[in-house]
Chain A
Amino acid sequence: MTSTVELASVSRWYGNVVAVNDITLTVGPGVTGLLGPNGAGKTTVLHMIAGLLRPSQGTLAVGGAPSWRNPEVYRRLGLVTEHEGVPGFLTAWEFVLVNAKLHRLPHPEAATRRALDIVELGDAERRRISTYSKGMRQRTRVAAALVHDPAVLVLDEPFNGMDPRQRLHMMDLLHRMADDGRTILFSSHILEEVEQLSGIVQVIVAGRLAASGDYRHIRRLMTTRPHVFVIQSSDDRRLGTVLMNQGSVSGVELVPDTGLQVRANDYGTFTRALARAARDADIRLTGVLPSDESLEDVFSYLVAQ
């Protein structure tokens, strides 16, 4: 696959400091979020993928080829770094066109038009970049990274400093690109961003891969942490007392107008026990909703581990 990013036992250290510790992961087409608190090593991982940093150990490949000291990899890879590095004296049109020419695209003007249409800068594209808002600069950089239609797009904290509307726009953009079969890998330390964007997450904590996969799946794997369910029944108060006797339940709360909020220790055991307990007590369940845990919860749980 030309669009697959593969890391095998990749580590990176700076002197005595280990920034990335033995990470193995594969990122395929679609949107993937690389998650972790600041300083977890996200940027180091992305820079290694983008060939701007040599892995101290392990192997790393983009579309089957190493990216370190291999400029050819940029034919299928685009990178948007975290910090703004755009020559402010150029207009967005000029900057994207320069990128198209540096890629030696056969029709640089047409490619520039296409890339700028994707990010929708409007009339501003003919204005100097130094007059842009942060979100506009970010979109300019995305357009520049997209101009050669790369199979893999790597974005470091793309939502940083964006207002909610710009954020929504960018998310929509990333999804559309992923729908075209591209591999989109972005980093974030704000978990809501990922939750709205993507089901697949790679969580990095202190340089290690703490969790990997669909975030709901990861959540289910963490059985020791309470899961929250909202339950409606014919008799919430009585159901509450019944459930408190269940070993898999650690807490029950009556929430007016909502129902019974139950914290369970074990996802599987609780869901089986619930049905049995309700039937035995002759209580009719009218609704059982696993409350959609936010990634913030998942994340703080992982960090605490």
Chain B
Amino acid sequence: MNLTIATLTARALFGRRRVLLLVPMPALLITLTLIARSTPADLDDWGPIVFGQLGLAVVLPLTALIIGSSVLGLEIEDGTITYLLTKPLPRHEIVLSKLAVAWGVTTLAAAVPIAVAGLLTGSAALAAGLAIGATVAALAYSAVFLALSLLTRRPVAVGLVYIILWENLLTNFIGGTRVLSIRQYAASIAEWIADTRWLPANLAPATALILAALIAVAATAGATTRLRSFSLAGETS
């Protein structure tokens, strides 16, 4: 972890208009929770929609995608990556510093609002479950989207395909795909802690934790390897 890189990454992130994209989603989530709470409807009815289908399935991965693809991706795009690459720094230090910022900001911008929404239902256990599940998933998501920004020129498009096609469509039809769905990790951990049954989760909490960690490690290792051989093409390319 390199504090200089982390500070600069955070400054760059918050200095762009792109960061404003992060505001509407948590606001919508909390507003919906407040509206639902004021109706006579049962939490078991609206909980799965607000927390499962909106919070964990949309707000969390989209926030992680916007941030994870930006922390290194924007520097690659505008060429400022050069000043970072031409330093005698181990490449894993660069990747880990970027990941730390992505994880931290995603947690702040998505996991915290989701937990706050959970708290509004009056259940501290639900809030804790959502907070921990979303924070763990935020790490895996951030690592994957950060790696994507090094592997493809269109990390946002590829990330969206993963979120929409894999996590939200395929997992409904093909059970096996859930093993590689970060959303499933978040839901499984949240359900276990909150002791609810209505979040659509299908994995044992231990399995979810281990898989999330494995994905984060694999993606970070991949990103580091890729950065180590990062090529800056010349005019002739």
Residues of chain A having any CB pair with chain B under 8 Å: 14, 17, 19, 38-39, 41-47, 50-54, 69, 71-75, 77-79, 81-87, 89-90, 95, 98-99, 101-104, 144-145, 207
Q: What chain B residues lie within 8 Å of A42 (beta carbons)?
A: 234-235
Asked if A52 contacts B229 (CB within 8 A), the reply is: no
Asked if B86 contacts A19 (CB within 8 A), the reply is: no
How many angstroms from the CA of A83 to the CA of B15 in the assembled complex? Answer: 22
With A86-B80, A144-B83 given, name 13 new contacts (CB 8 A): A14-B237, A39-B235, A44-B233, A45-B234, A47-B234, A52-B85, A53-B231, A69-B229, A90-B8, A101-B4, A103-B88, A104-B88, A145-B86
How many angstroms from the CA of A72 to the CA of B235 in the assembled complex? Answer: 26
Asked if B79 contacts A83 (CB within 8 A), the reply is: yes
Asked if A81 contacts B79 (CB within 8 A), the reply is: yes
Residues of chain B having any CB pair with chain A under 8 Å: 2, 4-5, 8, 11-12, 15, 78-91, 228-237
Q: What chain A residues lie within 8 Å of B237 (beta carbons)?
A: 14, 19, 44
How many angstroms from the CA of A54 to the CA of B230 in the assembled complex? Answer: 9
Asked if A38 contacts B235 (CB within 8 A), the reply is: yes
How many angstroms from the CA of A90 to the CA of B84 in the assembled complex? Answer: 15
17 A-B contacts, Cβ less than 8 Å apart?
A14-B233, A14-B236, A47-B233, A52-B85, A53-B232, A54-B231, A69-B229, A71-B91, A74-B88, A77-B86, A81-B232, A82-B235, A87-B80, A90-B11, A102-B5, A103-B88, A144-B83
How many angstroms from the CA of A50 to the CA of B233 in the assembled complex? Answer: 12
Asked if A41 contacts B234 (CB within 8 A), the reply is: yes
Asked if B231 contacts A52 (CB within 8 A), the reply is: yes
Asked if A85 contacts B82 (CB within 8 A), the reply is: yes
Q: What chain B residues lie within 8 Å of A41 (beta carbons)?
A: 234, 236
- In whole Å, how far is A175's beta carbon from the nearest beta carbon of chain B? 23
Interface SS majority for chain B: loop
Asked if A43 contacts B79 (CB within 8 A), the reply is: no
Known contacts A52-B231, A54-B229; is-contact A87 B82 (Cβ 8 Å) = no
Asked if A81 contacts B234 (CB within 8 A), the reply is: no
Q: What chain B residues lie within 8 Å of A84 (beta carbons)?
A: 79
Q: What chain B residues lie within 8 Å of A71 (beta carbons)?
A: 87-91
Q: What chain B residues lie within 8 Å of A45 (beta carbons)?
A: 234
Q: What chain A residues lie within 8 Å of B83 (beta carbons)?
A: 85-86, 95, 98-99, 102, 144
Q: What chain A residues lie within 8 Å of B235 (beta carbons)?
A: 38-39, 42-44, 82
How many angstroms from the CA of A74 to the CA of B84 in the assembled complex? Answer: 11
Asked if A75 contacts B88 (CB within 8 A), the reply is: yes
How many angstroms from the CA of A43 to the CA of B233 in the assembled complex? Answer: 8
For B5, B78, B230, B237, which residue has the most chain A Cβ atoms within 10 angstroms?
B237
How many angstroms from the CA of A51 to the CA of B82 in the assembled complex? Answer: 11
How many angstroms from the CA of A101 to the CA of B85 in the assembled complex? Answer: 14
Given B87, B228, B230, B233, which contacts A103 in the complex, CB threshold below 8 Å? B87
Q: What chain B residues lie within 8 Å of A39 (beta carbons)?
A: 235-236
